[in-house]
Every structure is written in structure tokens, then in C-alpha cells.
Amino acid sequence: MTVLERMPVAASVTGLSTSDSYVVSTEPVPNNLRAEVCGKIIVQSDRALVLHETRHSPVYYFPKEDVNMGFLVRTEHKTHCPFKGDATYWSLLSGTRVLENVAWSYENAYPEASDINGYIAFYATKLDTWWEDGKQVTPDNINVAPMPPANPLARWVISEAWDAPTTRELTARFARQLIESGIAVLRLRIIIPTLHPMISATAYRWKRGDDVADRFDVDHELATGDSFLKSPVASIFQGLGGVRRWISPEDEHDDFPILADLREEGATDYVAMPIRFSDGQINAVTIATDQAGGFTTEQLGWVHEVLPPLSRFYEVHAKRRASETLMKTFLGEHTGRRVLDGLIRRGDGETIHAVIWFCDMRNSTPIAESMEREAFLDYLNRFFDCMAGSVMDHGGEVLRFVGDAVLAIFPIGDESNGSMALSGDCRESTCRGHEACGNAAAAAAEAGRRIDEANKLCTAEGMPEIAYGIGIHVGDVIYGNIGTQDRLEFTVIGAAANEATRIESLTKELYKPVIVSQSFADVYVGDLEFLGEHSLRGVEVPQKVYTLPSSS
């Protein structure tokens, strides 16, 4: 078998080494090698080196002087190897043919791979023909040896990592396994970008001596600050293949500020590597050690090998957390939890006893017509911040934004078992009822205070003041999915929900910003001001209504 018959289909084909240790080594190739595309010589050399890497195909590297660089065009594609360094890539153009990212080089190779520094390698099977000592050969016959079970991290990933219930626990277990494998980990970070209106990324942090990893949310403001933008992680998110820095006590010419902190902690070596999810999202892992001489090639080889399968476990946790975040953001905490728990079919739901809270902004149509679109959206969001923000801050659940209105509930049912349905004597024992009504009244009062503050800003900006009405009622509603088979909404329906909107409409007639029903007054333990009996549209019997004492 010729040398070229052992050339790789790709640089990452696994299963070629029978060594029990992870090693990277090079040796000269005595043969004269030549490769052609469309009859044009791309490379011809008798000075090639073959690089052997544990559990990877051998890869042949050629001096740049022996490569016809006129056919190659540098691209922006980059990859990173923690012991070879950053690889830059070229596409090959020959006539009308374009072979994308077919060649690569470690132009500033790490010491472990210094022999191939500046040399160029090719994906062998993407080139047309190969010649060895004047004889045409093919690179499609590859010796494949079974992968030895030598990597202790690989065994852990297969047998134990899947069982971690949370990302924090998975990170702590990963750190402990690194230490058990003989790697003196000083600290470990996993950073995952997050789909969240307030949070840019989530970092899971472990340091030596910790039993568990903690979680730190990076908000959008921090993610655009210097401390993050000048970190290796930001470079990885921007497409850099990875970062490795040996840390010397004497050398303080750091290109990343984090290195100064690590030096003070006694670190000797630092790596930051990408962890890719199946959808292409780039995340990052950073590991620092204080062992003499830094990480060994074998140790980084172990980590490098397990990151792809380990990323799938992180992806599962991240997707679950993203789903919970999106559900909470777009449906609310209680509603989102129910959807995730399986209440996803049309008609799924339950009857609950709750305080129904409905508010509406006054004169929104003429105000919208008098403003530019962006200005009105900002104006409307100020109203929602005051109303919905107060509801959520007092334990309520915002169910819908209906144009310029907000529908919310304060559940009275027992949630100790994950349900808000009536249980036992919760109507009569009113303990939870007192709390829910008190929270709803506090939310209404807080909303009024926030509107007052918002109106000061509106006046200063020449905008009309925000006017509103809030109607609060207590009753049984159906809490569940309605809609079509393909488009559902989780909300509350029933007579009590309709009556809450009718009560809110009385605020226009009685010139009170907050009006509550008799059923609310029956449970609420605070003071109320009686407003008399009034007819509600669609309700035959006049209803007694009240307002909060501070409402005017």
C-alpha cells in the first residue's frame, strides 16, 4: 500500500490509532507527492510531513513553497485545535471549479505542532488525482483501527453525563471528572448565549473547592461592555476558532484582561474553545489550570474529543431553559408551566377560582392617530410597564395584551400540587382569597403610582397624559386552551371574565380609575368605598360596586 492510499477522507476521521495515550507527532514522507485539479498541478513536494493524531486519520502537510498558491484564495473560515492552534483556510479555484475550504494551515502553530508551522494540508479526496513517485494513486483506501477506550472523559460522557438534571450540575460533574482524570482544573466556565429579552448569555461557573457550579446571567448591557468584548469568549462568539494562552509570572503583556486575573490566581495555562449546538449556535468553554507546564497534549486531547458529544447534553438543557423562558415571556409563568407540563391540546384546561383583573387605556385611538408609529408604541409600552409590571410584581399572571388592554388573574386555587383548581374549602376558608385580593388591590394602587410617574415624563415630552380604568372581579373561570387546531391561546373564559370587563367600563361613567365588584369586596379585608348599585351590560341584576379609597 502506498503512502497516498492512507491519506484521509477528512482531517477528522476517527479510529486510526491504537495508542492508549493521546499523542500528536510528525514524521517526514520520503516519497514525491503530486496532486492535480483539472489537469493543473496544485502541489508537488518531496518534503511533505505526515501528522499522526490519536484516533484521527494521518494528515499530510506540505511546505508552502511547494504549493501553487495561485490557485488558492484565503477565506474567513477558521477552526481551532487546543494543541495545534488556529487553522486558516483556502478555497481552490481552477477554471470554473471552486473547492471551498479545501486547504488549511496552522500559520502560528503551538509548540506541540511546531513542525507543521506554515505548512499547508488538503482534504485529499476533494482533489482530482494524486501521484506518488510518478504513479497515480487513490486516497480512498483507509486503514481503520478500532478506537481504544482510553479517554476517561469519553467513558464519563457515555455512561454518566446524561444523568445530570441541570446545567449547573452537569458543569460541576464535568469539572470533577476532569480532576479525577488527573487534570488540575483551577476553574471552569460554560457560556451559552440565551434567547431572552433581558439576558444576552448565561455563564455556569465552577472553581476549585466548589461543590456546585453557580449560574450568572449576562444582561445585554454587560454583553456590550468592554469587560466582555475584550474577553476570549467574545472572540469565540465572533467566529474565532479558539484561544490558548500559557501564563507566565514574568510576562504581563496580556492581550486579554482575564489573563491578569488568572496570573494572580496562579494559573499556568488557559484555553477557551467553542461548543457548537446542532443548530450552529456557538457557545464557549474555558478551562484554566495551575499545573506546572500547563495542560499536556493528552489532557487537551481528551477534552477536545468529548466536546462534540458533551455539547448535546448542554443543548438539551439550554433548549429546555429557552422553552421555559419563552413560555414565561409570552404566556406567563403559570400558563407557560402548564403548557410545558403537557396542556397543549385544544380544550385542555381546568376551572379555577381567581381574581380577574382587567384594565384599559383611555383614548388610545385618537392618540395613536396623533403620533408617529414608533412614538405611539413607546407610549403604549409605558402603559403596559405600569399596568402589567405591577400585576407581575404582586404575583399576578398576565394572560393577554388585547390591543391597549391587559387581562390578568390572581389565582385563588391551591397551587401546591401544580394546579390552580378549587380544592377543599378554599372559597370559604378565604386564606388564599385574602392574599389574592390583597395582591390585586396592591397591584392596582402600584399601577396608579407608576402612571403618575410616567405622566410626568409624558408632560415633559409634550405627550398626552395616560388615562386608564381597572376593573377587578372574583369568580370561577375556565383556564385553558381555545382556538383552532393549529393556533391556540391559553387564557380564561367564562361569565366572570366578561363581568370583569363590564366592571372596568364603569370607570368611565363613575370617573373612578379602579372599580371592584361585590364578590371582590366579600373576600378583600381592606377598606373600600361603596359606589352604589349599577347595571352591567349583559347582566340582568344591578351590581354593587366599590372603589379603593385612594382612587379618585
d(C-alpha 336, C-alpha 323), whole Å: 9
Res 42: pLDDT = 95
Residue whose C-alpha is closest to residue 301's, from 273, 282, 263? 273
E strand spans, 95-134: 97-105, 120-122, 129-132
Per-residue pLDDT tens digits for 422-476: 444 444 446 788 899 999 999 999 999 999 999 999 999 888 999 999 999 998 8
Grid cell locating 437: 385580593
In DSSP terms, 243 is beta-bridged to 272
Res 483: pLDDT = 64
**Out of 113-122, 162-171, 361-370, 397-406, least confident range:** 397-406
d(C-alpha 286, C-alpha 493), whole Å: 50
The answer to whether residue 285 scores a pLDDT higher than 50 is yes
DSSP letters along 253-282, please? Answer: --SSTHHHHHHHTT--EEEEEEEE-TT--E
DSSP classification of residue 464: P
Asked whether 271 and 289 are in contact (CB, 8 A), the reply is no
Three-state secondary-structure class, residue 108? coil
The answer to whether residue 328 scores a pLDDT higher than 80 is no
Asked whether 467 and 447 are in contact (CB, 8 A), the reply is no
Q: What is the mean predicted confidence (pLDDT) over 196-209?
A: 81
Q: What is the mean predicted confidence (pLDDT) over 509-524?
A: 92
Instruction: Residue 116: count other Cβ atoms within 10 Å of its Cβ.
Output: 23
pLDDT band of 195, cuts 50, 70, 90: low
Q: Count CA within 13 A, CB hemisphere, residue 35.
A: 26
Res 310: pLDDT = 94
Sign of the torsion formed by the C-alpha atoms of 538, 543, 548 and 550: positive
Q: What is the mean predicted confidence (pLDDT) over 493-504?
A: 86
The answer to whether residue 13 scores a pLDDT higher than 60 is no
Per-residue pLDDT tens digits for 68-115: 999 999 999 988 888 899 999 999 998 889 999 999 999 999 988 999
Three-state secondary-structure class, residue 490? strand
The domains of the chain, with CATH numbers, are: 4-137 (2.170.150.40), 152-330 (3.30.450.40), 332-547 (3.30.70.1230)
pLDDT band of 365, cuts 50, 70, 90: confident
Of all residues in the chain, what percent carry a pLDDT higher than 90?
45
Kindly state the helix (H) or strand (E) to which residue 302 belongs, with its residue range: helix 297-331
Res 540: pLDDT = 75
The answer to whether residue 147 scores a pLDDT higher than 50 is no
Per-residue pLDDT tens digits for 212-243: 999 988 877 766 667 778 888 888 888 777 89
pLDDT band of 139, cuts 50, 70, 90: low
Instruction: Residue 510: count other Cβ atoms within 10 Å of its Cβ.
Output: 15
Res 399: pLDDT = 82
Grid cell locating 332: 406567563
The answer to whether residue 145 scores a pLDDT higher than 80 is no
Res 286: pLDDT = 95
Instruction: Residue 508: count other Cβ atoms within 10 Å of its Cβ.
Output: 12
DSSP classification of residue 148: P
Q: Give Cα 208 distance to the centre of its chain.
A: 26
d(C-alpha 45, C-alpha 536), whole Å: 93
The answer to whether residue 12 scores a pLDDT higher than 50 is no
Q: What is the mean predicted confidence (pLDDT) over 294-313?
A: 92
- Name which residue leads in pLDDT, 72 or 365: 72
361: left (phi over 0), alpha (psi -120 to 50) or beta: beta
d(C-alpha 17, C-alpha 21), whole Å: 9
Q: What is the mean predicted confidence (pLDDT) over 159-180?
A: 92
Residues ≥6 apart with Cβ < 8 Å to 417: none
The answer to whether residue 144 scores a pLDDT higher than 50 is no
Q: What is the mean predicted confidence (pLDDT) over 348-370?
A: 85
Res 488: pLDDT = 52
Q: What is the mean predicted confidence (pLDDT) over 266-274?
A: 94
Q: Give Cα 500 distance to the centre of its chain.
A: 38
Residue whose C-alpha is closest to residue 3's, from 35, 37, 40? 35
**Beta pairing, strands 59-62 & 120-122:** antiparallel
Q: What is the mean predicted confidence (pLDDT) over 345-359?
A: 76
The model's pTM? 0.55
The answer to whether residue 287 scores a pLDDT higher than 70 is yes
**Beta pairing, strands 514-517 & 468-483:** parallel
The answer to whether residue 146 scores a pLDDT higher than 80 is no
Per-residue pLDDT tens digits for 235-268: 888 877 789 999 988 776 788 889 989 999 999 9
Rg (CA), the chain: 33
- Side chain identity, residue 19: S
Res 6: pLDDT = 43
Res 481: pLDDT = 62
Question: What integer best gives the mean pLDDT of the chain?
Answer: 82
d(C-alpha 248, C-alpha 513), whole Å: 67
Residue whose C-alpha is closest to residue 182's, from 263, 80, 289, 90? 289
**Out of 337-351, 459-473, 532-546, least confident range:** 337-351
For the chain, what is the largest distance between any 2 Cα atoms, rounded to a whole number of angstroms? Answer: 106
Highest averaged pLDDT of the listed ranges 179-193, 199-213, 243-257, 525-539: 179-193
